[in-house]
Structure 1
Amino acid sequence: MLVFPNAKINIGLNIVEKRADGFHNIQSCFYPVQWTDALEITAAPVFSFESNGISIPGNGQDNLCAKAYQLLTQDFDLPPVKLNLLKSIPIGAGLGGGSSDAAFTLKALNQHFGLDIPVEKQVNYARRLGSDCAFFILNKPAYCFAKGDEFESIDLSLAGKWIVLANPGIHISSAEAYAGVQAKQSALDLRTLLSKPVVDWKHHVKNDFEATLFNKYTLLQDIKAELYNLGAEYASMSGSGSTLYAIFDQEKNLKTNFPKFSVWQGYMR
């Protein structure tokens, strides 16, 4: 079985408070984009996980895909499989690639073995793997809150818009990103702001991580400025970085503008 876990972007990201458990509550819109990894599941005599493409740090058995399989084996008598991941979505890039891989593993195993796990239960499994994982079960635009693992539907469609994502290869861990932010309640409701035309987002829809990370990594600020210079209706850092994205009203080929970066571009759905 072959599936293609996709990335997401954050449109707006407000860090509203630090929780007693050490995590932070956020408010953001998660929106899927079609920059994808590829995950193949095949029968095997013993369970194994392998990856190709972008190198993934750490022990393969600690990968979220492997953890997703092991999580389901606690409740289902699954036969052993081989998980083979072709990693294309940059790591530590604010795109949720690892979370998507985990969620798609859950969904693929559910379908492949006919487990008939209801969607809400799949969401609950995903929450146990990581804060962003639950979003990728439904994989639709959503207003996300709490740790990023609670969400509501949002009336937002960017279908037909052109998006460019540029990643300069700077790995930013969540711990590094959160170390520099001051949690605060937002004065404006993000859902109200996102109901306005995209061209109006520039001055009001913010990512709270940008303030400190742009000071530390000035290249990120330069990329955002260049995306606006190239005609973006809206540009922002996604998640805790280091990917910058830009939304355009018409197709733009910007790969030659960022020759040393990982760039993905395409129409939004």
Structure 2
Amino acid sequence: MDTLTLFPCAKINLTMEVFGRREDGYHHIRSVMESVSLRDRLTIRRIPSGFRFHCSIPELSGEDNLVVRAWRLLADRFALDGAELELEKQIPWGSGMGGGSSDCAGTLLGLARMFQLPLSLEELMKLGKSLGADVPFCLLGQPALAAGIGEILSPLPAGPQLELIILMPPASFSTPEMYRRLDSRPEIPTPISLTSFLEGLEQGDVRQITHGLLNHFEEAVPAPQLLKKAKDSLLAAGAWGASMTGAGAAVFGIFPDSAAANRALDHLILEKDWQIYRCHTLADPWSEQAQKEGTI
């Protein structure tokens, strides 16, 4: 195999709770996460020697890109000969949708396949954890309840396909800064009960799922007017619920069905510097069928 193309998928946090800071500087979190059909395109080509990387966003082509770091990790461990990686971005940068983590997961999976590396999924997830807290989820390829710093994953039932519109306002929030802002809360919140939410997920009750949407990072948003505008616009267009994902700034709305989401696109009137994405949740983003549908 000389060339391999993968379509790493974004993720959303249906719930996102952030608790106290750990001794290692990270935070305890708990989050229900799902992959969505908004994807990047990652092409891996085997070359005789060396390494080349190109990203469609020039600012992301540096050595700190998780794609580059994933290559370095496997190349050093297995003495890989050479590869050229090309990343075409569609997942918005700085959105809280895990685009970098998913690209990293795709790199690990793609290189393991291309070079026939003796790595199980569990071993890839351990390697992924060393690169980023969301990488193990992106490798897992199914809905999950994440705990710890995000690396302790409990797989969840696939649940219903959620029909989404995602709005990306003209802003991005620094994840470390968002955590620092949450650290100023007078009290550390206690975990809420997820029983009703998880029952809704298992039973396919979209209304019950939307009632349980939660994101602690919404308390720390430095541009609350943008968050309010995004949520209000989605709800006015017919969404049953809306929430920010990750540390933001992207906001998703869940619609009752595909037709309602498609109609809503005609009612969303936003300034031209806002980005709008129509997508849905994916139960298995690395499946052959999901990857076949991954054209950009």
1:264 Cα deviation from its structure 2 partner: 1.5
- One-letter amino acid of the structure 1 residue matched with residue 163 of structure 2: W
- Conserved in 2, the CA contact under 8 Å of 1:156 and 1:194? no
Correspondence list, 1:216-231, <5 A: 216-231=223-238
- TM-aligned CA distance change 1:153 to 1:191, over 3 Å: farther
Residue in structure 2 matched with residue 263 of structure 1 by the alignment: 276
* Contact 1:3 1:104 (8 Å CA) reproduced: yes
The worse-fitting range, judged by mean Cα deviation, of 180-189 and 35-44 is: 180-189
Q: 1:220 to 1:118 in 2, by over 3 A?
A: same
Give the TM-score taking structure 2 as reference length.
0.84
Between the aligned partners of 1:219 and 1:55, the Cα distance in structure 2 is 27
Tell me, yes or no, if structure 1 residue 90 matches structure 2 residue 103.
Answer: no
Q: What runs of 5+ residues in structure 1 fail to find an aligned partner?
A: none
> Residue deviations 1:192-222, cap 9 Å, x none?
4332333234554310011221x63311111
Alignment correspondent of 2:72: 70
Pairing 1:43–2:46 present: yes
Aligned to 1:143: 145
Q: Is the 8 A contact 1:132 1:148 kept in 2?
A: yes
- 1:43 and 1:155 mapped to 2: Cα distance? 37
| Aligned residue runs from structure 1 range 131-210, under 5 A | 131-159=133-161, 161-181=162-182, 182=185, 184-196=188-200, 197-210=205-218
**Paired residues, number:** 265
Change (3 A) 1:90 1:185: same
TM-score by length of 1: 0.92
- Name the CA distance, whole Å, in 2 between partners of 1:194 and 1:230: 26
Helix, strand or coil at the partner of 1:130: coil
- For structure 1, which segment, 71-80 or 259-268, has the greater mean C-alpha deviation from structure 2 after superposition? 259-268
Partners of 1:79 and 1:11 lie apart in 2 by 41
Partner of 1:81: 83
Question: Is the aligned partner of 1:243 residue 2:257?
Answer: no
Aligned residue for 2:13, secondary structure, equals strand
- Aligned mate of 2:35, from 27, 32, 38: 32
Structure 2 runs not aligned, ≥5 long: 283-296
CA RMSD of aligned residues (A): 1.9
Residue 10 of structure 2 corresponds to residue 7 of structure 1 = yes
Q: Distance in 2 between matches of 1:102 and 1:191?
A: 32
Is residue 236–residue 246 contact of structure 1 (8 Å, CA) maintained in 2?
yes
- How far 1:188 sits from its partner (Å)? 2.2
Q: 1:226, 1:39 → 2: CA distance?
A: 33
CA distance in 2, matches of 1:164, 1:138: 24
Percent identity over paired residues: 31
Indicate conservation of the 8 Å contact 1:27/1:190, yes or no: no
Partner amino acid, structure 1, of 2:122: E
For residue 175 of structure 1, what is the amino acid of its counterpart?
A: P
Once the two structures are overlaid, the 10-residue window that deviates more, 8-17 or 178-187, is: 178-187
Which 4+ runs in 1 deviate beyond 6 A? Answer: none
Aligned twin of 2:219 = 211
